[in-house]
């Protein structure tokens, strides 16, 4: 167990109450903006002080409200990559990376050269941050954080300041650069793609509370609760009434559905991903919903259809499929309805 | 023409700006770190007061503090044998008190505008607070701080009311340029007044040029940053 976090802090709109453990891995913190993600990182880094709680890193107590321990950020050895990178504008790349490097002059120079090479910044050492591209700035910030040899690294929305088309390349690049780093990594983001690509485990925060803590694969397969399902990108959600061990009525869609697994106690919602809906005719029988008021949208690589299953439905249902499927299989015709495969239904608790 | 008012004015302005500059920066840093918003409001008010009060009133309070019969003045005379009132040091104290609010407010504004993440980054990198202040905060806030310093320098140079109250108007000792202009006009010597007015005009214009240089330079780097 290398990082244990348990902290409470009352904020203006809600109370932050976060507890989790991370163990030698990339851990994701997923949440909508303003849910307390950045505040959690700041508390771990020692920039903000929690009201109560305890933070332990590799057996070292960084903060303990009961024992009145509160190490300064300087002593915590926690790296922090800021959303805007926070590069010192008055310093060159070399000086920026060297800011957290306290070594004798010669050792420092050779270490700096090594870091510049490692992060593909050769030849940029004497430039100022404003003269660099977004990706280069990100590499400088990462090199600067790692130069100080932190015991763990926290990344606050590392890709949000970058252009969309750069992101995918940079994510691969990023993974490569972080492979050699041995400490824990906390990645904060509101993007489910980044969590899915980069993390093995994730914590979902909602209004300052841990809504769920699970391995990422599981989080996306069976999110468990409503907030996690929304954040994992599930668009079709409905409140339910349980009818039997394996049958329920989706109140929002006005249909009876059969599920593959037995419905446990406390399940209040059902969800299905837009890609999992199967176009089907009216004769399909069970788990079929009609398609009313279809609206077509063409996305870059996909065909999207919004529709309702009953009159007066508030939120539209989403179907997504590949363009080939839409053109070749469906002949660009709106189907009579959709089949909801029982194995694709996600059973969700309210919180 | 007696050049001593020019000499006294420059000496006073030079010494007082050094005190004002560092004291203002220190107070600004201290005030922006105060945790309680209410205390900060009061501190801000007290430090800004000399800017709002008529200088004669500030001079009145200074007399009240440094007069030889007053606790502080008495203490200085008895322990160190230093008399403040009606000496050259009085011109410095008057100039410092009057110009400090300008320095303090400019510096605080400049500090508050610096991206807090820069300071946080410095801390997580293990830089000491002193190092962060001189290597990160000051360079980032420098244009604003420098402009405030020049403004305070100009205000100290033109100080009249509080100086007259605390330092008097002793030729060759406490008579600064503004006081010299006043004395010449009061004595009906308009030609003499013209000469001092001319000197003040030149000095003040030079100060404005210097200030514009700093603020325009700030604008340029700002534009460059945006363009990239």
Per-domain residue ranges of chain B: 4-221
Q: Which stretch of A20-34, A270-284, B137-151 has the lowest confidence by average pLDDT?
A: A20-34
Query: What are the tens digits of pLDDT across the range A292-343?
Result: 889 898 888 888 999 998 888 888 899 998 888 888 888 888 888 999 999 8
Mean pLDDT of B86-100: 94
Q: Does residue B81 carry a pLDDT above 80?
A: yes
The CATH architecture of the domain made up of B4-221 is: Orthogonal Bundle (1.10)
Q: What is the mean pLDDT of residues A6-16?
A: 91
Tokens 């590069």 sit at which residue?
A: A87
Would the pLDDT of A25 be above 60? yes
The enclosing H or E element of A201 equals: strand A201-206
Residue B115's nearest CA partner among A90, A331, A218 is: A90
Ranked by mean pLDDT, which of A49-53, A135-139, A285-289, B35-39 comes out on top? A49-53
Residue B218: predicted pLDDT: 55
Which residues, 6 or more positions from A82, have their beta carbon under 8 angstroms from its beta carbon?
A141, A156, B117, B120, B121
Taking 80 as the threshold, does the pLDDT of residue B109 lie above it?
yes
**Beta strands at A52-57 and A60-64: parallel, antiparallel or unpaired:** antiparallel
Q: How many CB atoms lie within 10 A of CB A280?
A: 18
Per-residue pLDDT band at A119 (split at 50, 70, 90) = confident
What's residue B219's pLDDT? 52
Q: Is the Cβ pair A80, B126 closer than 8 Å?
A: no
Give CA–CA dist A122/A114, Å, rounded.
9
Checking if the pLDDT of A6 tops 60, the result is yes
Do B136 and A74 make contact, defined as CB atoms within 8 angstroms?
no
Is the pLDDT score of B224 beyond 50?
no
Give the chain B residue whose CA is nearest to the CA of A154: B124
pLDDT in tens, A82-116: 989 999 999 999 999 999 888 888 889 999 999 99
* Cβ contacts of B140 on chain A, cutoff 8 Å: 88-90
Could you tell me the pTM of the whole model? 0.77
Inter-chain residue contact A74 with B126, CB threshold 8 Å: yes
- Spatial CB neighbours of A42, under 8 Å, sequence gap ≥ 6: A48, B120
Domain ranges within chain A, ordered by starting residue = 3-226, 234-349
Q: What is the pLDDT of residue A311?
A: 82
Tell me which chain B residue has its CA closest to the CA of residue A82. B117
* Mean pLDDT value across residues A59-64: 93
pLDDT tens profile A255-274:
899 998 888 888 889 999 99
A:B CB pairs within 8 Å: 70
Report the largest interatomic distance among the alpha carbons of chain A, rounded to a whole angstrom.
79
A160 token code pair: 């949000």
Tell me how far apart the terminal alpha carbons of chain A are, to the nearest angstrom: 27
Q: Which fold has domain A3-226?
A: Rossmann fold (3.40.50)
Asked whether the beta carbons of B150 and B67 are under 8 A apart, the reply is no
């Amino acid at each position: 167990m290398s990082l244990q976090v348990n902290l409470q802090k009352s904020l203006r709109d809600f109370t932050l109450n976060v507890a989790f453990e991370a163990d030698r891995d990339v851990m994701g913190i997923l949440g909508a903006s303003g849910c307390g993600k950045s505040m959690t990182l700041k508390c771990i880094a020692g920039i903000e002080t929690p009201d109560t709680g305890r933070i332990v890193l590799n057996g070292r107590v960084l903060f303990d409200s009961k024992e009145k321990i509160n190490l300064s950020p300087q002593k915590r050895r926690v790296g922090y990559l800021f959303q805007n990178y926070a590069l010192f504008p008055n310093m060159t790349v070399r000086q920026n990376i060297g800011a957290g490097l306290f070594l004798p002059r010669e050792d420092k120079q050779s270490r700096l050269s090594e870091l510049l090479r490692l992060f593909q910044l050769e030849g940029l050492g004497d430039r100022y941050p404003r003269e660099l591209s977004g990706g280069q700035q990100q590499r400088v910030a990462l090199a600067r954080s790692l130069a100080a040899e932190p015991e763990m690294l926290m990344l606050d929305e590392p890709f949000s300041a970058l252009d969309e088309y750069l992101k995918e390349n940079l994510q691969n690049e990023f993974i490569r650069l972080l492979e050699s780093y041995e400490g824990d990594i906390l990645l904060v983001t509101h993007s489910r793609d980044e969590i899915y690509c980069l993390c093995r485990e994730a914590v979902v925060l909602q209004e300052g509370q841990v809504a769920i803590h699970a391995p990422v694969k599981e989080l996306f397969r069976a999110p468990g609760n409503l907030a996690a399902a929304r954040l994992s990108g599930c668009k079709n959600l409905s409140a339910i009434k349980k009818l039997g061990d394996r049958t329920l009525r989706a109140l929002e869609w006005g249909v009876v559905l059969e599920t593959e697994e037995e419905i446990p106690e406390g399940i209040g919602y059902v969800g299905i991903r837009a890609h999992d809906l199967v176009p089907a005719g009216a004769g399909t029988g069970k788990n079929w919903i009609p398609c009313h008021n279809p609206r077509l949208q063409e996305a870059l690589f996909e065909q999207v259809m919004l529709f309702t299953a009953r009159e007066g439905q508030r939120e539209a249902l989403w179907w997504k499929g590949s363009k080939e499927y839409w053109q070749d299989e469906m002949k660009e015709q709106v189907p009579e309805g959709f089949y909801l495969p029982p194995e694709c239904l996600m059973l969700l608790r309210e919180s | 023409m007696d050049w001593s008012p020019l000499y006294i004015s420059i000496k006073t302005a030079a010494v007082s700006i050094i005190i004002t500059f560092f004291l203002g920066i220190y107070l600004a840093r201290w005030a922006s770190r105060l945790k309680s918003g209410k205390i900060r409001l009061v501190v801000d008010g007290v430090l800004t007061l000399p800017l709002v009060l008529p200088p004669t009133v500030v001079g009145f309070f200074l007399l009240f503090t440094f007069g030889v019969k007053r606790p502080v003045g008495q203490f200085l005379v008895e322990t160190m044998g230093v008399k403040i009132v009606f000496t050259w040091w009085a011109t410095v104290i008057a100039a410092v008190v009057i110009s400090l609010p300008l320095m303090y407010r400019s510096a605080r504004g400049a500090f508050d505008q610096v991206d807090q993440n820069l300071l946080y980054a410095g801390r997580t990198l293990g830089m000491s607070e002193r190092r962060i202040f001189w290597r990160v905060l000051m360079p980032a806030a420098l244009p604003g701080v420098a402009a405030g310093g020049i403004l305070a320098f100009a205000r100290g140079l033109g100080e009249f009311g509080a100086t007259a109250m605390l330092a008097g108007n002793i030729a060759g000792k406490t008579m600064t340029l503004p006081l010299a202009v006043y004395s010449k006009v009061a004595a009906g010597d308009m030609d003499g007044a013209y000469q001092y007015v001319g000197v003040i005009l030149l000095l003040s214009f030079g100060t404005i040029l210097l200030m514009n240089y700093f603020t325009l330079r700030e604008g340029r780097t700002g534009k460059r940053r945006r363009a990239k």
